[in-house]
Amino acid sequence: MAAGLRSTARSREAHQAARRLMPGGVNSPVRAFHAVGGEPLTLESGFEARVRDVDGNDYIDYVGSWGPLILGHAHPEVVEAVTRALRLGSSFGAPTLAETALARRLVEALPSLERVRLVNSGTEAAMSALRLARAATGRDLVVKCAGGYHGHADGLLVRAGSGATTLGTPDSPGVPAAYASCTLVARYNDLDDLDGLFRAYPGRIAAFILEPVAGNMGVVPPVRGYLEGVRELTRGAGALLVFDEVMTGFRVAWGGAQVLYGVAPDLTCLGKVIGGGLPVGAYGGRADLMARVAPEGPVYQAGTLSGNPLAVAAGLATLEVLSRPGAYERLGLLSERLSEGLRGVFLEAGVPSYHTRVGSMLCTFFTPGPVADYDGATASDAALYAAWFRAMLEEGVYLAPSQYEAAFVSLAHRESDIDATVEAAARALARCVSSS
């Protein structure tokens, strides 16, 4: 990969055309590159660990569709499974054998999951899990972590409060303050803060929802004892513990973070990897809780495309490959090679950085750290990250266009890809430092 500016004229033209038709020219905000400057690439294809833009430029990809593509792009077994399913029909709005097979896979892999309901997205999964938690407990309030993202449902779009007992305030216009006030905000990795909320609102909190490994403020692992303490506090308060494993489920380990750390939640939200790159989500947990979901119980939730046969086929094929011996070991080795390589590059360049990794999720924070919560993550030099991001694009490496997102390694990455990425990072960082 030779350094130098690449022609992206067609991407620019495509983006300008898209802006006339879609807000910001995108269908999800972070894709617009606002956090890193410049105009987004318009991609036309992906194969194994690489993507290609409409100008014909190739990039080693660490976005991986924001996590689902743990096997890489266009994995032959996933393509074959989806093609086979499509020939039989794209959607039925009726039960199929394949959706039962996927449900069985999930229940077998996650010990806390006794029954499950398939939906279309992580947003739907989190929204539905919290509705169920409120119904089961007869309480209205929920707790989330500052910097935690659980989809764009109204009640979860709140910013952090100024203290342990501060009620949530809307983070987006269009969210009623009364609705947002039902969400409390705690600091991630801070048991005392969570305990303070339970003490301030006794008998009123239905659930605590969190990413067991925070992946929407970079990658922030739980400190020792945090998840176990959360489990104890929620149980003692009569509240449900909801793990949002949309990102970590089958990404950090077979079965997800709850298996990796040995902590069982009451309800779990899943997505991304279980759809193999197609739109899917799921929520599930204890059988007594899931029995409250319609049509067995009164908690209503429905979806025309839930359990879509194409998404289910892609998910089943992906999980089949991941279940084979050595899959997670290889992912771990590749990810460690990248994380340690980047750490060495920043150390040699004398650029303050803090590197985190859990499984095949990793992040380089442009701060000396440590990073244990949202405040620590936002102490990063986002402007320097943006400059490095653009320099890495010139080097042919596609990272997340935000300091506060994870990088994802796939089974399609090779050692040569990792080594080329580390070498590119050194060149890119050197240019950033020399121009600052």
Q: For residues 224 and 109, state if they share a domain.
A: yes
Active-site residue, selected from the candidate residues 53, 62, 144, 149: 149
Q: For residues 309 and 348, state if they share a domain.
A: no
Q: What is the pLDDT of residue 382?
A: 94
Q: How many CB atoms lie within 10 A of CB 312?
A: 28
**What is the number of domains present in the chain?**
2
Q: How far apart are CA 436 and CA 157, in angstroms?
A: 36
Q: What is the pLDDT of residue 5?
A: 59
Q: What is the pLDDT of residue 113?
A: 97
Return phi, psi of residue 331, to 5°. Answer: -55, -45
Q: Are 401 and 35 in contact (CB under 8 A)?
A: yes
Q: Are 169 and 180 in contact (CB under 8 A)?
A: yes
Domain boundary among 264, 298, 322: 322
Q: For residues 189 and 137, state if they share a domain.
A: yes
Q: Are 184 and 148 in contact (CB under 8 A)?
A: no
Q: For residues 96 and 133, state if they share a domain.
A: yes
Active-site residue, selected from the candidate residues 193, 244, 373, 417: 244
244 counts as catalytic: yes
In a domain, 288, yes or no: yes
Q: For residues 406 and 386, state if they share a domain.
A: yes
Q: What is the pLDDT of residue 169?
A: 52
Q: What is the CATH number of the domain that holds 49?
A: 3.90.1150.10
In a domain, 306, yes or no: yes
Domain boundary among 288, 322, 356: 322
In a domain, 420, yes or no: yes
272 counts as catalytic: yes
Q: What pTM, to 2 d.p., does this model score?
A: 0.94
Q: For residues 292 and 197, state if they share a domain.
A: yes
Q: What is the pLDDT of residue 176?
A: 83
Q: Please write the tens of the pLDDT for every residue from 30-82.
A: 999 999 998 999 999 999 999 999 999 999 999 999 999 999 999 999 999 99
Q: How many CB atoms lie within 10 A of CB 363?
A: 26
Q: Which residues of the chain have pLDDT under 50?
A: 1-3, 160-168
User: 324: which residues sit within 8 A by CB, 6+ positions away?
Assistant: none
Q: For residues 135 and 230, state if they share a domain.
A: yes
Give the range of the structural domain holding residue 16, as residue numbers without chain letter.
Answer: 9-74+326-435
Q: For residues 234 and 167, state if they share a domain.
A: yes
Q: For residues 130 and 166, state if they share a domain.
A: yes
In a domain, 129, yes or no: yes
In a domain, 98, yes or no: yes
Exposed, middle or buried: residue 329 (CB in 10 Å: 0-12, 13-18, 19+)?
Answer: exposed
Q: What is the CATH number of the domain that holds 150?
A: 3.40.640.10
Q: For residues 236 and 119, state if they share a domain.
A: yes
Q: Please write the tens of the pLDDT for every residue from 188-224.
A: 999 999 999 999 999 999 999 999 999 999 999 999 9
Q: For residues 145 and 254, state if they share a domain.
A: yes
Active-site residue, selected from the candidate residues 53, 266, 272, 283: 272
Q: What is the DSSP string of 45-91?
A: EEEBTEEEETTS-EEEES-GGGTT-TT-BT-HHHHHHHHHHHHH-S-
Rg (CA), the chain: 21
Q: For residues 43 and 87, state if they share a domain.
A: no
Domain boundary among 322, 343, 373: 322
In a domain, 53, yes or no: yes
**Dihedral over Cα of 275, 269, 170, 305: its sign:** positive
In a domain, 2, yes or no: no
Cis before 295 (ω within 30): yes
In a domain, 345, yes or no: yes
